[in-house]
Amino acid sequence: MYCVLPIGSYEQHGPYLPPTVDAEVAIYVAERLAERLGARVLAPIYYTCSKEHQDLAPTIYVECETFMSYVKEVLRSAARWCDGVIVVAGHGGIADAGNAVASQLDYELGPKILWLNIWSLAPVRDHAGSDEASIYLAVGGRLVDTPRERICEGDVHMMRYLRTAWMSRSGVVGCIDPAEISAERGSELLETIVDKAYQRANVFLSSIRAVYRA
């Protein structure tokens, strides 16, 4: 049995989105992916390393070293009875940490763990902006409040180098524009994410089958 593990975060998403967005989107993608793979969805992980958002409420985070140690043990344990584990990570800030953990476990156990950062699978331009809001609507989420004006702050590509509060007062990184938010646009981005996740998972699982047949 293959398993899919959704991982998100509990971090600020500006004035219009709840702090659970990353986890809710990850759960949606994980369920869609598991359905296509015939896999089992594991219980999600919400609290991860989101230190870049530490200055803005209601962010709750752990140190990345703590997260890496914890998720490594979760994945090692899951790999004992899952033939392969696909991690669907809805928080882009853990991509480097997650890939490092997955690689080390694969070197230790053989090919067992694939880490997918969903935000790298589609052209999403923001954090807590129009694209992420649209995706959240498409998974069935509801905005905390309705944006009434365009807000543009910071550069999403700098999030791996700068704390959010150093470049954004609102918590939005990139732009949020009422005219650009729609479940239809979110659905298009989601389909791209799910399709690419499925393609990558299929390649990885095929390699697992080839190794264990050899």
pLDDT of 33 reads 98
pLDDT digits (tens, 9 = 90+) for 72-103: 999 999 999 999 999 999 999 999 999 999 99
Q: Please, which pLDDT band fits residue 212 given cuts at 50, 70 and 90?
A: low
Which residues neighbour 149 within 8 Å (Cβ) at sequence distance 6 or greater? 178
The pLDDT of residue 213 is above 80: no
Please give the structure tokens belonging to residue 197: 């996740």
The pLDDT of residue 210 is above 80: no
pLDDT digits (tens, 9 = 90+) for 148-206: 999 999 999 999 999 999 999 999 999 999 999 999 999 999 999 999 999 999 999 88
- Whether 68 contacts 97, CB under 8 Å: yes
- Token look-up 């070197």 returns 107
pLDDT of 206 reads 87
Range of the domain at 73: 2-213
Please give the structure tokens belonging to residue 16: 């219009």
Number of domains in the chain: 1
pTM, two decimals, is: 0.95
Cα(46)–Cα(33) distance, rounded to whole angstroms? 19
Which residues neighbour 88 within 8 Å (Cβ) at sequence distance 6 or greater? 4, 5, 6, 7, 26, 29, 30, 33, 116, 118, 197
Cα(193)–Cα(119) distance, rounded to whole angstroms? 8
Stronger pLDDT, 213 or 145, i.e. the higher one: 145
The CATH code of the domain that includes 44 is 3.40.50.10310
Which residues neighbour 1 within 8 Å (Cβ) at sequence distance 6 or greater? 39, 40, 81, 82, 83
Alpha carbon 202 to chain centroid, angstroms: 19
CA dihedral sign, ordered 187, 193, 196, 202: negative
The pLDDT of residue 209 is above 90: no
pLDDT of 201 reads 96
pLDDT digits (tens, 9 = 90+) for 15-52: 999 999 999 999 999 999 999 999 999 999 999 999 99
- Whether 94 contacts 48, CB under 8 Å: yes
